[in-house]
Structure 1
């Protein structure tokens, strides 16, 4: 610790921002809009992609419209968190919103696919600061003990984005120009900026020793190995074989870049990702759980619409609506868990219960068959959503409570980064399992299945519409293959979730900063136990 506390270290404010409940709710309205922008963007753009390709051309570069955004946002997340620690969260967060809006406007005026990809990267750069900025600001505005009162507001954003995004994107594509899929961000972003500017009140950052020392080397190395790792997970098994020279080369660069990053961070005056926070056992466990939640949740849930559309016969719009049981369950449990934490000040049971429910929900999903009804799958989704609700907010709360206030942004960025990387790896690895099982099943069934897909360049070209036009034996064979692929995906997700359930038992209870409703709640534990915990690990 001593090596990372020089004279230029930012001085943590003695207390968190003292705001009334009304002031917090008003300020959070701007934060909610910003978080909605980050979550909605890809979901609104996805339905417009076929139209975009038809207008701009460049089908071979279609994947880069999404990959460029993911690369930039993932690499930028921890950097934005650290910049907030150094220069103050309000100004840094508003800068991220402005960059996101500029990128959105430029995407709307793109004249070819190369321009669109470049502008999407700029948009992703800003998006990386939106999520981490929201969570870090809330972490500074509201003590962990009191956060449950406001947790429902943030928990409502995900179902709105998951359900509303495809609906809005589909409406824009069908009734307006695809460019409005990007322009729609501008008025929302302007409202968010205005609300944040006038209502958000946070303590000023005071620094001893003058200007901050920015860890440019660490930021560059972090960007390097994250970029190569995301490229591996995006390209491996799809664009290139896992054993190809390009994937192996990217793997070597990732390992060397990561090792160099660790060396630089140990010596940096103001490391972009302070390694000292990982000495805290609770923080490391919460980070591992964030990674596992991202892997199991995003990796598994990404493929659920495949089953709903190909096997259960739902439309793309309806498959989004059919996710409502999971989202409502996640939101309800998240709110209830937050209120429980506020009332009791205890949280250890939630990640344990969440790990058990997440594992059970994914295991139930793995039992789905051709004749599984929508009601049955909805019940399974409720269990899965309950596990998500126990874990999503609680892991962030544990991570933030495990570090000093001066490292809030870096800790939030690290936790968010781990969840994003877990989701990226989950989608890639589970996607490879799904595709291979789908192909193997079709080959094993042979006959009609092989003949029915012979004219297609790839099984990926089979859409629900194409499937409905196939002969009954071919359609049945493909539905069997999809079901078997989904079963493999959820089995893999359940195994990973089970590891998270085991890790959750090692989390220990550390008193939360901030007072509870009981008059006897101690106040002297505000910074002292956290600082000690961060130092001892």
Structure 2
């Protein structure tokens, strides 16, 4: 226990202490900087017992919140739609070896634009950015339904990733703007309910629509719902929600964007794009020694190194490095990254197992995915309620990690001879683990950052999860595409080499061709697919193990209240036993004279490791060589 005698200026002095010029003149209230604008709406004294902050009225809060939940449900439906329909779509275009691109380009564009949505919405406000995302989502979905070839469809999915990614990221940002942190668990549960319903319907109805109405109808049917969401957003989203730095600082849009991290944005896009292109093309479309593959990976490495240097110097970094270097935030974000790889490596390949190995229809394979996604929704709701009641965030993350690892082990048991009654029981555990883990991780990242950092923390976590999803799909697809020719050559027999090559080529291009094979070759191809998928699921075990190893040793603090997080942190601390600090001692006598008439009282405060306040205290203490313990008692004179 460390006992420190600390003098703190009163609250009103704290509010103005940072705005005193060298000549002693104080700035007026209208002279605000970026930090002031971000914190100007943090007071919730008027409504202490309601879940929403004072930035919005109660009626409009509910209107807007349920509108964005509706929009998220549509976006999640569109995302999971590809899980059960991609075999049908790629077979229609005779391009089954391009299956990974359908999800990869979607996640790629969604990943690289999420941080941009966050920073741009900080600058010009949430409303115009949200409406832009909805328009992109509507237009690209119509394009998907009208695509005439596989290239056009992949391009449409890339644009759709921008729209759907913007809808989801803005929903999370708006929720952070409106909901107090201690209630975020409950409202995160509603968000996860939308996730479960949207994903479940996308997985189940995607295959059904492809079978009954054609795969194009699966996209056209979304358009009326996206249009309704656009109308709701226009009516519900206020103009002044969010920092809106251009307006609050009295700047033009051009002036406000001068601090935008353009170089960091370019570096991030090049890094992510180069990495994904290299991983997808290598060993799948081209050999690993192909110039395009090598150039893509080299570009990713060089851009990544440059990104680190750029973000270190950026005024408002698009990707703050401190989120990846500060414990326990780095543990939570890193574990989420690998967990996303686990989930998507399983979810993307289970429909392929069902349709290629078990010879089910797209509709049936979609229904097999419905229980896991509903289970993820239920466990997510339970996780949110648990956090709200107990304010403990780590237990759900531990349970989720263990469940995901068990689920990855379970799906490796899936084979050509697995009893069909056991299949539904082996699939859900990875999704159930995701339901426990992801909501708790989201709240933890928000709780470990200040209110003014909520948008960038939210979009960074979304970027990391999306990048993990991309790599999970890409790496698992790469493993499958490289393992499948090996096992096909091993199991398929034919009287001559030409016949064998024809069977192997048709089996790789379209899984529907398996139905037309004679019983002998059909059994051989199915066994080759089963063995290849088992190798893919082994990779998911490795991912889940790494995720658990990252989160288990992390020390996650209990959840604070919004009032605690909004307390001013700019007080001038003047420890009497800290010699040599001229910046704090020069005005010490004047401060003491100003405070002499004020009675003293003792306040005992708990500083929580990993919070912004503890980091501030730790930095100031470290400069004098005095470490701060997790709990410290301060005698504060006010």
Q: How does 1:272-283 map to 2 (within 5 A)?
A: 272-283=318-329
Residue 613 (structure 2) aligns with: 532
Matching residue within 337, 350, 362 for 2:396: 350
SS of aligned partner of 1:370 = coil
SS of aligned partner of 1:323 = helix
Q: How does 1:515-530 map to 2 (within 5 A)?
A: 523-527=563-567, 530=611
Give ranges in structure 1 of 5+ residues lacking alignment. 516-522
Query: Following TM superposition, by how much is the alpha carbon of 1:191 offset from its aligned partner in structure 2, in angstroms?
Result: 2.0
Matching residue within 107, 131, 154 for 2:191: 154
Query: Residues of 1 paired with 2:154 and 2:357: CA distance?
Result: 34
SS of aligned partner of 2:452 = helix
Matching residue within 194, 197, 202 for 2:231: 194
Check if 1:475 corresponds to 2:522.
yes
Check if 1:375 corresponds to 2:421.
yes
Residue 545 (structure 2) aligns with: 498
Residue 120 (structure 2) aligns with: 83
Query: Residues of 2 paired with 1:493 and 1:52: CA distance?
Result: 24
Deviation digits for residues 56-104 of structure 1 (CA, Å, limit 9, x no counterpart):
x999999866655443222211111222233333332222222322444
Q: How does 1:55-204 map to 2 (within 5 A)?
A: 68-105=105-142, 120-165=157-202, 168-169=205-206, 181-200=218-237, 202=241
Greater Cα offset, 107-116 or 138-147: 107-116
Matching residue within 337, 361, 382 for 1:336: 382
Query: Residues of 2 paired with 1:126 and 1:428: CA distance?
Result: 21
Whichever structure has more helix as a proportion of its residues is 1
Query: Residues of 2 paired with 1:381 and 1:60: CA distance?
Result: 24
Check if 1:291 corresponds to 2:337.
yes
Query: Residues of 2 paired with 1:497 and 1:65: CA distance?
Result: 24
SS of aligned partner of 2:561 = coil
Residue 11 (structure 1) aligns with: 38
Contact 2:203–2:369, Cα closer than 8 Å, also in 1: no
SS of aligned partner of 1:237 = coil
CA distance 1:100–1:240, shift in 2 (3 Å): same
Query: Following TM superposition, by how much is the alpha carbon of 1:441 offset from its aligned partner in structure 2, in angstroms?
Result: 2.6
Query: Residues of 2 paired with 1:244 and 1:132: CA distance?
Result: 36
Give ranges in structure 2 of 5+ residues lacking alignment. 1-17, 19-31, 44-51, 570-607, 620-638
Query: Residues of 2 paired with 1:423 and 1:164: CA distance?
Result: 20
Query: Residues of 1 paired with 2:215 and 2:493: CA distance?
Result: 42
Query: Following TM superposition, by how much is the alpha carbon of 1:412 offset from its aligned partner in structure 2, in angstroms?
Result: 1.3
Number of residue equivalences: 524
Contact 1:94–1:193, Cα closer than 8 Å, also in 2: yes
Query: Following TM superposition, by how much is the alpha carbon of 1:497 offset from its aligned partner in structure 2, in angstroms?
Result: 0.5
Check if 1:434 corresponds to 2:480.
yes
Contact 1:53–1:62, Cα closer than 8 Å, also in 2: no
Check if 1:239 corresponds to 2:285.
yes
Matching residue within 551, 558, 568 for 1:511: 558
Structure of higher CA gyration radius: 2
Query: Following TM superposition, by how much is the alpha carbon of 1:356 offset from its aligned partner in structure 2, in angstroms?
Result: 0.9
Query: Following TM superposition, by how much is the alpha carbon of 1:360 offset from its aligned partner in structure 2, in angstroms?
Result: 1.0
Residue 313 (structure 2) aligns with: 267
SS of aligned partner of 1:443 = helix
Contact 1:82–1:273, Cα closer than 8 Å, also in 2: no
Check if 1:39 corresponds to 2:76.
yes
Check if 1:402 corresponds to 2:448.
yes
Greater Cα offset, 179-188 or 41-50: 41-50
Residue 520 (structure 1) aligns with: none
Greater Cα offset, 117-126 or 397-406: 117-126
Contact 2:414–2:534, Cα closer than 8 Å, also in 1: yes
Check if 1:27 corresponds to 2:108.
no
Deviation digits for residues 250-299 of structure 1 (CA, Å, limit 9, x no counterpart):
11111111111222222222222222333431221121122111111001
Contact 2:144–2:219, Cα closer than 8 Å, also in 1: yes
Query: Following TM superposition, by how much is the alpha carbon of 1:116 offset from its aligned partner in structure 2, in angstroms?
Result: 5.8
Matching residue within 230, 249, 253 for 2:276: 230
Query: Following TM superposition, by how much is the alpha carbon of 1:476 offset from its aligned partner in structure 2, in angstroms?
Result: 2.2
Query: Residues of 2 paired with 1:322 and 1:123: CA distance?
Result: 26
TM-score for both structures, normalised by structure 1: 0.86
Query: Following TM superposition, by how much is the alpha carbon of 1:455 offset from its aligned partner in structure 2, in angstroms?
Result: 3.8
CA distance 1:47–1:432, shift in 2 (3 Å): closer
Residue 417 (structure 1) aligns with: 463
Residue 48 (structure 2) aligns with: none
Contact 1:105–1:182, Cα closer than 8 Å, also in 2: yes
Deviation digits for residues 221-275 of structure 1 (CA, Å, limit 9, x no counterpart):
2222222122122222211122322211111111111111222222222222222
TM-score for both structures, normalised by structure 2: 0.73
Deviation digits for residues 453-500 of structure 1 (CA, Å, limit 9, x no counterpart):
63452542241x422332323222222222222222222111211111
Greater Cα offset, 106-115 or 270-279: 106-115
Query: Residues of 2 paired with 1:308 and 1:273: CA distance?
Result: 39
Query: Residues of 1 paired with 2:85 and 2:312: CA distance?
Result: 44
Give the aligned CA root-mean-square deviation in angstroms: 3.4
